[in-house]
Chain A
Amino acid sequence: MLKQRRFLIETLTAIGLIAAPFVLPHLGFAPNTVNRILVWGLFGLGFDILFGFTGLLSFGQSAFYGTGGFVAAYLLTRAGFGNVLVALIIGMVAAAATGYLVGLIALRRTGIYFAMITVAIAQVFFFVEFNPLSDFTGGENGLPGVPTPSFNLGFTTLHFTNGWSLYQFIALCYFVGVIIALRIVRSPVGAIFSAIRDNPLRATAVGHNIHGYKLTAFVIAAAYAGFAGGLLGVLQAFMPPDAFTFDTSGQLVMQTAIGGRGTLFGPLVGATVWLFLQDFLQSALGLGAAWKLVLGVVFVLLVCFLRGGIIGGLADLYRLASGKRGQTEAETETEDSGATQQPAPAPLQAKEVEHPAYSGPILKARGLTKRYGGLVANSDIDFSVNQGELRGIIGPNGAGKSTFFKMLTCEIAPTSGQIVFEGRDITGLKVTDVCQLGLTKSYQVNQLFTGLTVRQNLTIAALAELRGKFRLDLFRKLSSVKGLTEQVEHTLALVNLARRADTPVSELAYGEKRRLEIGLALATSPRLLLLDEPLAGMSPRERVETVKLLKSIARGRTMIVIDHDMDSLFELVERVTVLQEGRVLVSGTPEEIKTNAAVQEAYLGGVHGEIAA
């Protein structure tokens, strides 16, 4: 679909747009219909970045479509502004600014809350346009008399008036829109967008400020909507007030889902189907008002049975036909380094130490306590780990080991107590910032970006370390991020997944997923790595391999490992801390722990009376 050669999609788009005026009339498309399809397609480019790539389903895009449209139309009609293109761009900026403000509110919540808030926002804009601002927007009359663009080139004047002449202008706008959208989805930011869609929790944990990136996607979508709204006015020579209605948002959502989300071209395909069917059903079949019902039914069926929409369905067919599987997707199109295969990697270096002078224990926790209501998960834990140490933590189920880890990485805030990482108090920091400082963990239950390939997964983690938690390099190619390829390849080799690099996560075996889980944490180059049950669920053979893997990654970094497999753990670590009922029971070398009576009591005769597997 969106892959293979450089500029392939750009070239194909250009060819398609140039060919359209020669082909489409024979298929019964009037130029005006084609122009409307392009406006919807442009509107949808931004929306697909928001919904298809970032996973944020907004039902409020009409607010920005209308804002951009009316700002541009007002400038061109009432304010006597002459330059159509500049007016469109001002409209786009106004919509983007509105999007920023609205995003600040709507993105306070996620999931269905986000959807509900966007619906409410769209409705507010509709009413504001009709009432308080009707002096500027013409209320229910809209703004008539929007001029068409003309460009004075000195020797001649290009005037795009209507029909196929206006098509040239709109098609050019759409083409520029496609190029920009492709750059964005192929940039590091685009990669992080899909990480947010797949697993926002992990995207946060590997060190990305996902709120900032979500807001970015929201503003991008608003900007596209604003520009498209302006074009609608130009196209119709009239800015219709119904651009602001909820129906506009709904139609955009439906067209995108019909065409195929996450493809950029889905909205264009969806709009084509929509406008064609509307025309066909109304005039050819004489269905009258029932056309919308037919489209609604088509839409529901597509959502039920063809999640990827028309483009997704075609892509599946193509893959079935050609027998290819597990192809790389466009959004993280890394430079193909297959030809320049790296030699066996040296052990991955941990992040540069910020204060090289610091030489005390890398991590110190004092009086760490976590209460959930009356339940005390952790109580007054004092804990200290030295630089380069390999520490194990064991304890019966419910001893509070995972809670302890979550507090150390600042995923949850302690009720009381203090955590010091490399001499710096990190209590109360966010998990993203802590990861950026060089402390992260792998999860007990896999937290992977399930829709992406192994390489893409590691790329996302490595990007956090190489680019910091937030950066707007929207037009940079992923392959030009310094050190990214090396770091990803190193990690791939280290967790022994190099041969599976381009396999989607969903097709990995469990043991491989487990190794990728560790790889995700590792790719952020932490100086202190916490591993929550890295051996859980593995077969004995996989355990032996993973212990070997852990030993190799322990070189040059500090690690703390929780596991129930004591044989493996005791072989791996230098010291062991035993937790029981939220407290530190005892600490010592594996030998001391093995023979410690209190530990045996805790596991065999204690309150829990269970033997950990």
Chain B
Amino acid sequence: MISWPNLVSQLFNGLALGALLALISSGLTIIYGTLGVLNLAHGAMFMIGGYAGFVAYQYTESFIIAVIAGSLFVMLLGVAMERVIIRHFYHRPHEDQLLVTFGLGICFVEIIRLIFSSQSQLVPPPAIFQGITNLGFMFYPTYRLAVVGIVAIALGALFIILYRTRLGMIVRAGIEDSVMVDSLGINVYRVFMVVFGIGAMAAGFAGIVNAPVVSLTPGIGDDILVQTFVVVVIGGVGSFPGAILGGLIAGEIISVTSMFNPGYAYVMLFAVMTLVLVVRPHGLLGVQGRE
């Protein structure tokens, strides 16, 4: 039943899920903001990150190497995807971009299903984060606490890239006005490639970090993609702070509602999204004028 420790532990779960969603959504939102492409294969990137890490872990038994390998693999996949396919869709209508990324997402999922079958795979948490931690007032799985920390560090890194580097300045300027950036003599296409890689890596990183929490299945990215959309609609497309705020809100809603009845988690999430759309159609931290 509902008790204080239970509620607090759900709040922690919500924080962990929210942090993950924030990271994945940041990837989606900076890609969209800079390139103008909504990547429907983003959920598949998350899933592939998990599987790539899983493979690396099987060979090395090292969680750190798994995380690095998973992230890098997805980054390279993102770069390849941008170079080979997405690049040809910048001047095509939004619907075509949605269709092609949707199709790619399905291909990725099916490839993984072919290789690893539909059975779930497990990546154990690293040794130092195994077991449970006594927080004084309750016990909580150590790795979930660690997830919050790890993701916070990743978000911090993303923040530094976006707000403290030349690349980040171009990305943020591109989100504001991509035509203007184009006309300033910056090679936008190279920037696009890098941004797509970073955005995909954010999802892939989240995928491997999340792997010890839930078991891996080829369809794991589908749900995450839907949740990411809700996060982005709530937070505002193209807004990094919006993705973080939206992620935390969505994570807490899902966790707390699940405590009462998991069946209503999506209903609540959707209710909040609707409310935001009615009150602030451009999202909590979104900017008007960007469609």
Contact = CB atoms under 8 A, between A and B. Distances in A.
A and B from one assembly? yes
B111 to A, nearest CB: 6
Interface in B149-199: none
Given A108-B278, A112-B98, A120 B273 contact: yes
A120 B229 contact: yes
Given A113-B291, A128-B266, A299-B103, 4 more contacts: A132-B267, A292-B110, A293-B110, A300-B104
A252 B281 CA distance: 28
A307 B274 CA distance: 33
B272 to A, nearest CB: 11
B85 interface: yes
A112 B98 CA distance: 8
Contacts of A299: 99, 103, 106
Nearest to B261: A131
Interface in A37-60: 51, 55, 57, 59
Interface in A190-212: none
Interface in A481-505: none
A111 B36 CA distance: 11
Interface string A83-112: 000000000000000000000010011111
B206 interface: no
Contacts of B270: 120-121, 123-124
19 contacts: A108-B278, A109-B291, A115-B98, A116-B38, A120-B229, A121-B270, A124-B269, A127-B263, A127-B266, A130-B263, A246-B226, A250-B102, A253-B99, A257-B99, A289-B114, A296-B107, A297-B107, A303-B100, A307-B92
A120 B226 contact: yes
B100 A304 contact: yes
Given A112-B94, A112-B98, A131-B261, A120 B111 contact: no
A290 interface: yes
Nearest to B84: A304
Contact of B98 (A57, A296, A300): A57
A550 interface: no
Interface string B218-235: 000011011001101100
A119 B114 contact: no
Given A105-B277, A110-B291, A124 B266 contact: yes
A254 interface: yes
- Interface core residue of A131, A253, A296 (most chain B CB under 10 Å): A296
A254 B103 contact: yes
The 7 closest A-B pairs by CB, nearest first: A131-B263, A293-B110, A116-B229, A300-B103, A296-B107, A296-B106, A112-B38
A128 B262 CA distance: 11
Given A109-B291, A112-B38, A117-B233, A296 B261 contact: no
B25 to A, nearest CB: 11
Interface of A: 51, 55, 57, 59, 105, 108-113, 115-117, 119-121, 123-124, 126-128, 130-132, 246, 250, 253-254, 257, 289-290, 292-293, 296-297, 299-300, 303-304, 307
Contacts of B263: 127-128, 130-132
Nearest to A139: B263
Contacts of A120: 226, 229-230, 233, 269-270, 273
Nearest to B97: A112
A51 B230 contact: no
Interface of B: 32, 38, 85, 88, 92-96, 98-100, 102-104, 106-107, 110-111, 113-114, 222-223, 225-226, 229-230, 232-233, 237, 261-267, 269-270, 273-274, 277-278, 281, 291
Nearest to A57: B95
Nearest to A126: B266
A371 to B, nearest CB: 15
A296 B110 contact: yes
- Interface core residue of A113, A116, A293, A299 (most chain B CB under 10 Å): A116
A466 to B, nearest CB: 30
A51 B103 contact: no
Contacts of B261: 131
Contact of A51 (B95, B267, B291): B95
Contact of A119 (B94, B100, B229, B265): B229
A127 B281 CA distance: 25
Nearest to B38: A112
A286 to B, nearest CB: 14
Nearest to A56: B95
A115 B263 CA distance: 23
Given A112-B94, A290-B114, A123 B266 contact: yes
Contacts of B98: 57, 112, 115
B95 A296 contact: no
A55 B114 contact: no
Contacts of A300: 85, 100, 103-104, 107
Contacts of B233: 113, 116-117, 120
Contacts of B100: 300, 303-304
A278 to B, nearest CB: 13
A218 to B, nearest CB: 15
A206 to B, nearest CB: 21
B32 A117 contact: no
Nearest to B88: A304
A128 B222 contact: no
Contacts of A108: 277-278, 281
Given A117-B233, A290-B110, A299-B103, A109 B277 contact: yes
Contacts of A119: 225-226, 229
Contacts of B225: 119
Contacts of B226: 119-120, 123, 246
Nearest to B228: A116
A44 to B, nearest CB: 15
A131 B265 CA distance: 11
B186 to A, nearest CB: 24
A115 B267 contact: no
B264 A131 contact: yes
A450 B94 CA distance: 16
Contacts of A57: 94-95, 98-99
B222 A127 contact: no
Given A105-B274, A108-B277, A131-B263, A250 B106 contact: yes
Contacts of B99: 57, 253, 257, 299, 303
